Amino acid sequence: MEKDVVAIIGPQSSGVAHVISEVVDELNVPLLSFAATDPSLSALQFPYFLCVTQSDYFQMQAIADLVEHYGWKEVISIFVDDDYGRSGIIALGDALAKKRSKIYFKAAFIPSAPSSAIRDLLVQVNLMESRVYVVHVNPDFGLTVFSVAKELGMLNNGSVWIATDWLMAVLDSLKMSDPDTRNITQGVIALRHHTPDSDLKNNFWSRWSKLKASSSLNSYGLYAYDSVWLVARALEKFLYEEETISFNNDRTVQDTNGSALHLSALQGQSFLQILIGPGKLGIGQIIRAYQFFLQKPEILYQKPPNKSTSSQQLSSSVIWPGNASVKPRGWAFPNNGPPLRIGVPNRVTYKEFVANSSTRVKGFCIDVFEAAVKLLQYEVNHIYLLYGDGLKTPNFSDLVEMVPENKYDAVVGDITIVTNRTKIVDFTQPFIGSGLVVVSPVKGINSSAWAFLKPFSVQMWCVTGAFFLLVGAVVWILEHRINPEFCGLPSQHL
């Protein structure tokens, strides 16, 4: 292999690419992969590994932008438990963390898992709170995930399903998708690699249609073509620069024209530099990494940054699972979660507010609570728990204290809002009057000229007069010897 091979094209699996990359580094043989999208595969770790496709790092960044755009905070990742799946989900978690979002749960299943294992995993996922699912699996059994999810009713209103580029690779490979495939993928958001239009691309599509009229081609097919084209270009450049060609009698090594070339001189670092050197690219523009944009990145960079939230909208409306046009909330109360415990006073008076019948709890306060719950956009499971023995009306302060003690999640009733209760619980806006009034006797008021004396009693007036005389006497004693105004008769001193 190290003497007769100058380049390797493939493989289609990231896991196999990891293994082969170790081998080609030892043999100094370039490896061109058009389908290995594992972000951990890099030229720094494997110098002879050339990724001719887009890394999953970029599409995970696009998914994180999509999650941020719609305001979702948590997602559930469904992925295959191998190098391809784990590395992609790690990149997704890092991208979401930058957007202040996170992966709520990582649902992993082994490669080539049976439908029963996928069903058990999706049943577990369906019991959780988050309703935003990111599916990052292999194309081999990816549609099985959606088929099982459809059977479990997980593709209904309120859910969000985001598939990485594997789904569009499968759908683009089908010349005419069958109704069942369209049915199970209805409302799913999928990403596709962007390959800009060019004359090379149009000419290739024309030739492909004539050659394989009954089959279609996805973006990875373009990358595979570019891989072969890149190797052919490197061979052409090498032969053009060397100006000499030697032949080999081995008939197993032949080109399409029937001639046999001796390629031993093409091995190693020299051929690698030709592959990664400058030159015209192929159909898929393989070196440039396009993300989840409908325009080329260089066009986006030429525009000034858009800081207006009103214009940052998608170009067309999105049809969500269940043919819903309204953006899903992205979460729901978990199906296996306990219901809310609502404490209700079992009172014996004023039963028009809260009363316990033989079948249910009723009353004006209960009706208001039920009406408020119905206004919510999601279902709230709750049960009513009576507090009291039914022989006497219970103490409402004790009932309120049951909430911080975690015996009740909330309390419904005609409970008066007082200071000591507001310190331990939060009250809603009052919807009925408290009924508290102040009762005082009614007295007739007679006005007179001496009304100013009524604020003080007789004793108060006497004390005030005595202090007035005392202060005057003290001032006279201190001032009459040195102040001429205090001289003369005593009547003049007053």
| Per-residue model confidence (pLDDT) at position 292 | 37
| Per-residue model confidence (pLDDT) at position 443 | 73
Q: Whole-structure pTM over 0.75, yes or no?
A: no
Q: Do domains 8-54+197-302 and 340-422 have the same CATH topology?
A: no
| Per-residue model confidence (pLDDT) at position 172 | 80
Q: To which CATH superfamily is domain 56-189 assigned?
A: Response regulator (3.40.50.2300)
Q: Does domain 340-422 have CATH number 1.20.120.140?
A: no
Which CATH number among 3.40.50, 1.10.20, 2.60.40, 3.30.420 corresponds to the domain 8-54+197-302?
3.40.50
**Residue ranges for the chain with pLDDT beneath 50:** 243, 245, 247-250, 252-266, 279-301, 307-312, 315
| Per-residue model confidence (pLDDT) at position 358 | 63
For the record, the structure tokens of 410 come out as: 């909330």
Distance CA 123, CA 135 (A): 15
**Residue 96, C-beta contacts closer than 8 angstroms, at least 6 positions apart:** 64, 67, 75, 102, 103
List the chain domain ranges: 8-54+197-302, 56-189, 340-422, 451-493
Contact 202, 27 (CB under 8 A): no
| Per-residue model confidence (pLDDT) at position 119 | 93
Q: What is the dihedral of CA 54, 162, 71, 370, to 10 degrees?
A: -170
Omega before 11 within 30 of 0, i.e. cis? yes
| Per-residue model confidence (pLDDT) at position 287 | 30
Contact 190, 216 (CB under 8 A): no
The 3-state secondary structure of the chain reads CCCCCCCEECCCCHHHHHHHHHHHHHHCCCEEECCCCCCCCCCCCCCCEEECCCCHHHHHHHHHHHHHHHCCCEEEEEEECCHHHHHHHHHHHHHHHHCCCEEEEEEEECCCCCHHHHHHHHHHHHCCCECEEEEECCCCCHHHHHHHHHHCCCCCCCCEEEECHHHHHHHHHCCCCCHHHHHHCCCCEECCCCCCCCHHHHHHHHHHHHHCCCCCCCHHHHHHHHHHHHHHHHHHHHHHHHCCCCECCCCCCCCCCCCCECCHHHCCHHHHHHHHCCCCCCCCCCCCCCCCCCCCHHHHHHCCCCCCCCCCCCCCCCCECCCECCCCCCECCCCCCCCEEEEEECCCCCCCCCEECCCCEECHHHHHHHHHHHCCCCCCCEEEEEECCCCCCCCHHHHHHCCCCCCCCEECCCCCCCHHHHCCCCCCCCCCCCCCCCCCCCCCCCCCCCHHHCCCCHHHHHHHHHHHHHHHHHHHHHHCCCCHHHCCCHHHHC
For the record, the structure tokens of 414 come out as: 């005609």
Backbone region of residue 284 per phi and psi (left: phi > 0; alpha: psi in -120 to 50; beta: other values): alpha
| Per-residue model confidence (pLDDT) at position 107 | 94
